Amino acid sequence: MSKKDLIDAVAKDAELTKDKATEVVDAVIAHIRAAMKGGSEVRIPDFGTFKVADRKAREGRNPATGETINIPASRVPKFTPAKGLKDALN
């Protein structure tokens, strides 16, 4: 499902125009992004939890040359599905 498909589904289910549904979907994504950028978790019951994990700096290898390279520390997004979502899929 693409973002456009999601907008179409929200517009249909909530009886909104596509413009309003686009605003809603964009607002939800923006709030999730802002919360994660601030280091907060976003918990959606029966769906899952979006959170940020910190990766330490480490050494890696360039597979083409075998040269050792330094990989800097970074923050990465993580998603943990809720039990309700897992049950719905099985």
Give CA 48 to chain center in angstroms. Answer: 10
Buried b or exposed e, range 2-34, using 16+ CB within 10 angstroms:
eeeeebeebbeeeeeeeeebbeebeeeeeeeee
Q: So what's the pLDDT on residue 80?
A: 96
What is the pLDDT averaged over residues 50-67?
94
For residue range 11-28, what is the model confidence (pLDDT) as tens digits?
999 999 999 999 999 999
How many Å apart are CA 34 and CA 20, to the nearest integer?
21
